[in-house]
């Protein structure tokens, strides 16, 4: 039996968007579409007031992913002295696995530098396995469990981190001979 791939899918199974995705600042007129994505993706969605309250903070930034003039994803994050903290992140269910979320995370990773902000952190609900897997695939690592972290359910969360240092160390060449005790002395 031969499995056939749909015309718009890559060998990995991800659909290729027809148009390039534009990642830009979130503006007020985007809120209706952002709220629709939020409500469609979470059991305990943020309210419009929670979004606006957060975005009024000086260190809080909102971005959206736009495809064919339609908002298909968003990210809200905070700037801190040595890190970025993702507060809220979602891609519309119809566009998941299209690489849009990965592009948004990569845009954030590109903002890191050795001199200033070197890591990105976030919390993920213990029941949100899809988000755990997604961020794991983006090289985030779970560092700890935050017990009873959420007020609405007293659910635990995983504290996850992407570190610029970790990603650089992953590509550092090693001396394979030294690994086998054959050090050239």
Instruction: Please choose, from the candidates 65, 102, 83, 60, the residue with its C-alpha nearest in 3D space to the C-alpha of residue 162.
Output: 83
Write out the residue range of the structural domain in which residue 152 sits: 22-170
Examine residue 106 and state whether it is found in any structural domain, yes or no.
yes
CATH number at residue 111: 3.40.630.30
Question: Does residue 55 have a pLDDT over 90?
Answer: yes
Q: What is the mean pLDDT of the chain?
A: 83
- The model's confidence at residue 17, banded by pLDDT at 50, 70 and 90, is very low
- For residue 12, the model assigns a pLDDT of 40
Asked whether residue 9 is assigned to any structural domain, the reply reads: no
- The rounded distance, in Å, linking the Cα atoms of 99 and 87 is 20
More confident residue, 166 or 160: 160
Distance CA 100, CA 68 (A): 13
Residue 60 forms part of a structural domain: yes
Asked if 60 and 87 touch (Cβ cutoff 8 Å), the reply is yes
* pLDDT > 70? residue 19: no
- For residue 10, pLDDT beyond 50: no
In a domain, 11, yes or no: no
Q: What is the mean pLDDT of residues 159-176?
A: 68
Q: Does residue 180 sit within a domain? A: no
Residue 128 inside a domain? The answer is yes
Domain count, the chain: 1
Is residue 10 in some structural domain? no
Classified as helix, coil or strand, 30 is helix
At CA 76, angle to CA 74 and CA 78, rounded to 5?
A: 155
pLDDT tens per residue, range 105-161 = 999 999 998 778 999 999 999 999 999 999 999 999 999 999 988 877 888 999 999
């Amino acid at each position: 039996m031969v499995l056939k791939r749909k015309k718009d899918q890559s060998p990995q199974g991800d659909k290729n968007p027809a148009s390039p995705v534009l990642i830009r600042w979130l503006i007020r007129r985007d809120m209706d579409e952002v709220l629709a994505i939020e409500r469609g993706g979470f059991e305990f969605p943020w309210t419009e007031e929670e979004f606006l309250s957060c975005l009024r903070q000086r260190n809080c930034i909102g971005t959206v992913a736009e495809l064919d003039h339609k908002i298909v994803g968003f990210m809200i994050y905070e700037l801190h002295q040595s890190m970025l903290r993702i507060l809220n992140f979602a891609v519309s269910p119809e566009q998941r696995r299209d690489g849009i979320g990965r592009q948004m995370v990569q845009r954030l990773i590109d903002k890191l530098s050795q001199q200033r902000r070197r890591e990105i952190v976030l919390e993920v609900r213990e029941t949100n396995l899809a988000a755990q897997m997604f961020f794991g695939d983006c090289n985030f690592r779970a560092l700890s469990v935050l017990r009873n972290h959420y007020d609405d359910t007293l659910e635990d969360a995983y504290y996850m981190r992407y570190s610029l240092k970790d990603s650089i160390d992953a590509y550092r060449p090693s001396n394979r001979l030294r690994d086998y005790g054959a050090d050239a002395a």
